[in-house]
Amino acid sequence: MSVVGQTSPLIDWDWIARNVDQIAARTWQHLSLTAISVGIGLVISIGLAIVALRWRWSYTPITWVTGLLYTIPSLALFALLVPVVGLNATNAVIALTSYTLLIIIRNLVAGIDGVPNAVLEAADGMGYTRRARFWRMEVPLALPVIIAGLRIATVTTVGLVTVTAVLGLGGYGYFILRGLNTFFWTQILVGVVLSVVLATILDIGFLIVQRVLSPWARRVG
């Protein structure tokens, strides 16, 4: 079917067909920026959560600082980091990671805190050592909440990765930025749709992982 009088159709399938390689490369970039940022975010958060759980007074300043990071607009953060690390992937990863911290730490601490006292007392009473109790009771029981935190952090990061297009990266954000500059709708749509699809797939993926790792919590959901 030909569309009369429209030089640029909404979806130019030919363009998509010609650029499969490019789309694949940007998919990989989008995924790896997300994975690296959430991964580093998780490692840092675990460290900070351990500090917060051991020295309770430190939890407030930790959430205060990570909360402050969370409020900085992403574009501003990229710009702020340019004089320090330059205009590159390191810049992107530092910024993206800093946005994951608040969510992941909060869920780590809330998950561990949410383990019922009766369970802890029973575990002590049965003769668990402190360390065994932490790894075999507290961590598995906190897992649904921890994974819920990773889910939110990941979905948020997938969205933020598109903004790194201003650094010459961007994953699918590259298409959006190019499309906006040239008023080429197909590119914009490809960038937006794939970004949403990726976020949805990762969200569902985490949900499945959570169900598999904590079958006992299925009812509680």
Of residues 110 and 192, the one with the C-beta less far from another protein? 110
Q: Does 140 bind another protein (CB under 8 A)?
A: yes
d(CA 148, CA 138): 16
Q: Does 217 bind another protein (CB under 8 A)?
A: yes
Q: Does 119 bind another protein (CB under 8 A)?
A: yes
Lay out the site mask for another protein across 22-41 (x = CB under 8 A, - = otherwise). Answer: --------------------
Q: Does 122 bind another protein (CB under 8 A)?
A: yes
Which alpha helices (H) appear in the chain, and where do they start and end?
13-18, 20-54, 59-71, 74-85, 89-113, 117-126, 130-133, 139-161, 173-182, 185-213
Long-range interactions of 164-168: CB distance < 8 A, separation 24+:
164/33, 164/78, 164/92, 164/95, 164/96, 166/75, 166/78, 167/78, 167/87, 167/88, 167/89, 167/91, 167/92, 168/87
Q: Does 116 bind another protein (CB under 8 A)?
A: yes
Q: Does 135 bind another protein (CB under 8 A)?
A: no
Burial of 220 (0-12, 13-18, 19+ CB in 10 A): exposed
Between the two ends of the chain, the Cα-to-Cα distance in Å is 48
Query: Closest approach of Cβ 106 to another protein, in Å?
Result: 22
Which region, judged by CB under 8 A, interacts with another protein, from 37-45, 137-145, 163-171, 182-190? 137-145
Q: Does 127 bind another protein (CB under 8 A)?
A: yes
Of residues 111 and 173, the one with the C-beta less far from another protein? 111
Q: Does 137 bind another protein (CB under 8 A)?
A: yes
Q: Does 124 bind another protein (CB under 8 A)?
A: yes
Kindly list the residues in this chain that would bind another protein in the complex (CB under 8 A).
Answer: 116-129, 132, 137, 140-141, 214-217, 219-220
